[in-house]
Chain A
Amino acid sequence: MTVRGPAMLKIEAVSKRYGYGASAVTAVDNVSFDVAAGEFMSIIGPSGCGKSTLFHVIGGLTGADEGRVSVEDEPVTAPHPAIGMVFQEESTFPWRSVAANVAFPLEVQGVAKRERLERARRFIALVGLKGFENHMPGELSGGMRQRVSIARTLVSEPKILLMDEPFGALDEQTRLLLGEKVLEIQQELKQTTLLITHSITEAVQLSDRVMVMTFRPGRVKRFVEIDLPRPRTAEVMTSDRFGHYVAQIWGDLREEASRGMAAQEERVRTHPGV
Chain B
Amino acid sequence: MRHWRHRLLPVAVGLASLALLAAVVELMVRSSLINPFIMPTPSSVFGSFGRLIGEEHGLARLGATAAEVLAASVLITVVGVPVALLLHWRVRLRAAFESWVAALAAAPLVLAYPLFLVLFGRSQLTIVVMAFAAGVAPVILKTVEGFAGVRPVLVDVGRSLRLTPSQLFWKILLPAAIPSIFVGLRLGLIFALLTVTGVEFLINIGGLGHLINELAERYDMPGTYAAITFVVLVSVIFFAILESGERWLARSAR
Contact = CB atoms under 8 A, between A and B. Distances in A.
A124 to B, nearest CB: 15
Contacts of B163: 108
A85 B160 contact: yes
B153 A95 contact: no
A107 B171 CA distance: 10
A60 B160 CA distance: 8
A97 B153 CA distance: 18
B167 A93 contact: no
Interface in B1-38: none
Q: A83, A90, A93: which has the most chain B beta carbons within 10 Å?
A: A93
A87 B178 contact: no
A89 B151 contact: yes
Contacts of A43: none
Which interface class (under 10, 10 to 19, 20 to 34, 35 or more) fits B?
A: 10 to 19
Contacts of B151: 89, 91
Interface string B60-84: 0000000000000000000000000
Interface residues of A, number: 25
Contacts of A93: 154, 172, 175-176
Given A89-B151, A108-B171, A97 B160 contact: no
B171 A95 contact: no
A108 B160 CA distance: 12
Majority DSSP secondary structure for residues of A touching B: loop
Contacts of B172: 93
A75 interface: no
Contacts of A79: 159-162
Contacts of B162: 78-79, 81
Contacts of A107: 171
B96 interface: no
Contacts of B253: 95-96
A189 interface: no
Contact of A104 (B159, B161, B178, B250): B161
Contacts of B176: 93-95
Given A89-B151, A95-B253, A96-B253, 7 more contacts: A61-B156, A78-B162, A85-B156, A91-B157, A95-B178, A97-B254, A136-B254
List of 5 A-B pairs having minimum Cβ-Cβ separation, nearest first: A85-B160, A89-B153, A95-B253, A91-B153, A95-B175
Interface of A: 59-61, 78-79, 81, 83-85, 87, 89-91, 93-97, 100, 104-105, 107-108, 136, 156
